[in-house]
Structure 1
Amino acid sequence: MLRKLYDWTLSMVDHPRALWVLAFISFIESSVFPIPPDILMIPMIIARPSRAWLIAGVALVFSVLGGILGYAIGAFAFETIGKPILESLGKDDAMAAFSTRFNDLGFWAVLTAGVTPFPYKVITIMSGWTAMPLGTFIATSILARGLRFFLVAFLLWKFGAPIRDFIERRLGLMFTLFVVLLVGGFAALKYL
C-alpha cells in the first residue's frame, strides 16, 4: 500500500493542479500521511526551476497548517486518533518515556523533526499531547520546515537535476548532523 501511495504522489508531478496537490500532501503529511512532500517538490522544481520559491512556500505554509492539525489531534483526540497514528509508525513504545522529557526539549524536538527524516507528524501530535505552548510550536515549525523546504528549493534551483541524488539520499543526514552540531555547540557553551 505504501508503494501505491508513493507512486500516486509521484504521478501528480505533471498534473495541471500540481501545486494544489503539493499543498494537500504537505498538509496531511504533517499529521497522518506517510509520504513527505519532498517526493513531489523535487521533480516539480526540476521541471520548473523558476517556480522553486513558490513551490517551497506552498509546502511550508501547508505543512505548518497541517502541523497545527497534528497539534490539535494530540491535544484533543490523542487516544482516538493520535495514539493509533503513532502506533502505526512504530513509535508507541517511546511515547510514554519521551512525553515526560518532551516539553523540556520543545524547540529542539520540533526543529529536529522539522528538518530531519524523523517523521514530523510524530512531533506535531506529541506537541499537542504534551501541551507544548502553541506559539513555540508554530514558530519552530515555520523555522524548521522553512529551512528544509527552501534549502531543497535553493539546491535544485542552483544545481538542477544533478543534485537530486544528494538531496534524496544524503540531505536528511546532513540536516541531522547540523542539528547535532548545533545542540552540541549550545551544550558546550553552557559549560564554558
Structure 2
Amino acid sequence: MKLFGPLYDRCRTLAAHPHAPWYLGVISTIESIFFPVPPDVMLAPMALARPRAWWRYALLTTLTSVLGGLIGYALGYFAIEAVMPWIERAGHAGTYASVQDQFVKYGVWIMFVAAFTPIPFKVFTVAGGAAAMPLLPFALASLVGRGMRFFLVAGLIAWGGPRIEPHLRRYIEVLGWVVAVAILGVIAWLQWGP
C-alpha cells in the first residue's frame, strides 16, 4: 500500500507554492492539537527547495508548533471534559491515561521527549494541561524539544540538498512505515508498559 510516497509528492508540490510558509505554520499549529500528519512532511521539502531559508522554516515550524501545544494545553487545562470524548473516539483514551501517569513519574522530561520524537505530541499537550503541569516548564520543554527536532530535520535536508532527494524519495515509503510502527510501539508501551 503506497501511502507516504504520494503524500511526500503532494507536500513537495505545496512546498513550492508562494503561500507554503503559511501552510507550514497552519500544519505545525494544528498538528500539536489534533492533526495526524507531522509538519516534517512539509518542512523537509521546503528546506530542500530553498536550502538557504532552512533555518527560517525550522524556526517557523518550532514556534507555531509550540503555539499549537499551548492551545492543546489550554484545552486540557480548561476543557478536558469536553475534549475527552474526542480523545476516546480517536482511540487515545488508554494512551491518555498512560501519559497522565508519565507526567506524575517524569514531569518535564516526558514533555521534552514527546516534543522531540515522532510520538503523538498532541496527546501530551492536552494531557499536560489536564495534569496541570506548570505552564513555564511545559512551554520550555516544548520549545527546546520541538526546536531540536525541526532544526535537525531542516538542517540535515538543507545540508544534504539535491543529492539526498532521490534517496529520500526512493525510501520514503519505508521510512514512513518505520516511523508509523515506531509510533504504534510507543503508544503500546505507554498503554501496556511499565
TM over 0.5: yes
Taking the TM superposition and a 5 Å limit, the aligned residue runs for 1:102-141 are 102-141=103-142
Q: State the 1:70 CA deviation.
A: 0.4
> Runs of 5+ in structure 2 lacking a partner?
184-194
- Identical aligned residues as a percent: 38
1: CA distance, partners of 2:89 / 2:44: 27
1:58-100 deviations in Å (ceiling 9; x for gaps): 000100011000000100111212x234334422123334424
| Worse overlay, 85-94 or 137-146 | 85-94
Structure 1 counterpart of 2:50: 48
User: Root-mean-square deviation (CA), in Å?
Assistant: 2.9
3-state SS of the aligned residue for 1:46? helix
Residue 62, structure 1, aligned to residue 64, structure 2: yes
> Runs of 5+ in structure 1 lacking a partner?
177-192
1:165/1:101 Cα in 2 relative to 1: closer, same or farther (>3 Å)? same
1:110-146 deviations in Å (ceiling 9; x for gaps): 1111111111101000000000000010000011000
Q: 1:28 aligns with which of 27, 30, 34?
A: 30
* TM-score, length-scaled by structure 2: 0.77
* Structure with bigger RCO (C-alpha 8 Å, 6+ apart): 2
Structure 1 counterpart of 2:148: 147
Structure 1 counterpart of 2:21: 19
| Worse overlay, 87-96 or 123-132 | 87-96
2: CA distance, partners of 1:8 / 1:76: 39
